[in-house]
Structure 1
Amino acid sequence: MESLLSSLFSENEELYILDCMAYVMVFMAACTFVTLLFENVPYGRYASSRYGFPVNAKFAWFIQELPAILVPLCLLLWTSAAKTSLLPNQLLIAMYLCHYVQRSLIYPFLIRGGKPTPFISFALAFVFCIYNGYMQIRYLSHYAEYPADWVTHPCFITGSLLWLVGWLVNVHSDHILRNLRKPGETGYKIPTGGMFEYVSGANFFGEITEWAGFALAGHSVHSVAFSIFTTVVLASRAVAHHKWYLAKFEDYPKGRKALFPFLF
Structure 2
Amino acid sequence: MKIPMLEKLMFDEPSIWITATTVATLISTAYLGFAEMIGNHLQYSKFTSSSSDKKPQGIKVSSRTGMLILYTPAFLAGVVSFFVFPDDGDGDLRFLLLKFAVTFHFFKRDLEVLFVHKYSGGMILGLIILISIFYFSAVVGLIVVHYLTLGIPEPLIDLKYIGLIVFMLGILGNFYHHNLLVKLRKPNEKGYKIPQGGLFNLVICPHYLFEIVVFVGISFISQTPFAFACTFGDSLYLIARSYETRKWYVNKFEDFPKNVKCVIPYVF
* Structure 1 length-normalised TM: 0.83
Residue of structure 2 in register with 1:8 after alignment: none
Provide the secondary structure at the position in 1 that maps to 2:184.
coil
The CA distance in 2 between the partners of 1:261 and 1:144, in whole Å, is 38
Contact 1:57 1:115 in 2 (8 A): yes
- Which letter maps to 2:44? Y
Q: 1:237 to 1:179 in 2, by over 3 A?
A: same
Give runs of aligned pairs for residues 164-243 of structure 1, distance below 5 A. 164-243=168-247
CA deviation vs aligned residue, 1:164-205 (integer Å, no higher than 9, x gap): 221111111111111111113342111111121211011111
Q: 1:195 to 1:98 in 2, by over 3 A?
A: same
Residue of structure 2 in register with 1:108 after alignment: 113
- Which letter maps to 2:196? T
CA deviation vs aligned residue, 1:119-148 (integer Å, no higher than 9, x gap): 232011111122112111123345345768
Contact 1:15 1:139 in 2 (8 A): no
- Which letter maps to 1:137? I
1:137 counterpart (120, 143, 154) = 143
Uncovered stretches (5+) of structure 1, i.e. residues with no partner = 1-13
The CA distance in 2 between the partners of 1:80 and 1:179, in whole Å, is 41
RMSD: 2.6
Uncovered stretches (5+) of structure 2, i.e. residues with no partner = 1-13, 50-54
The CA distance in 2 between the partners of 1:15 and 1:116, in whole Å, is 43
The CA distance in 1 between the partners of 2:109 and 2:30, in whole Å, is 25
Residue 254 of structure 2 is aligned to residue 253 of structure 1: no
Provide the secondary structure at the position in 2 that maps to 1:250.
coil
Residue of structure 2 in register with 1:24 after alignment: 24
Q: Whose RCO is larger (CA < 8 A, sep 6+)?
A: 2
Q: 1:141 to 1:154 in 2, by over 3 A?
A: closer
- Cα distance, 1:214 vs structure 2: 1.8
CA deviation vs aligned residue, 1:64-105 (integer Å, no higher than 9, x gap): 21111222333331356659831122122212111111112x
- Which letter maps to 1:44? S
Which is richer in helix? 1
Contact 2:201 2:260 in 1 (8 A): yes
Pairs aligned (count): 249
2:81 counterpart (69, 75, 78) = 75
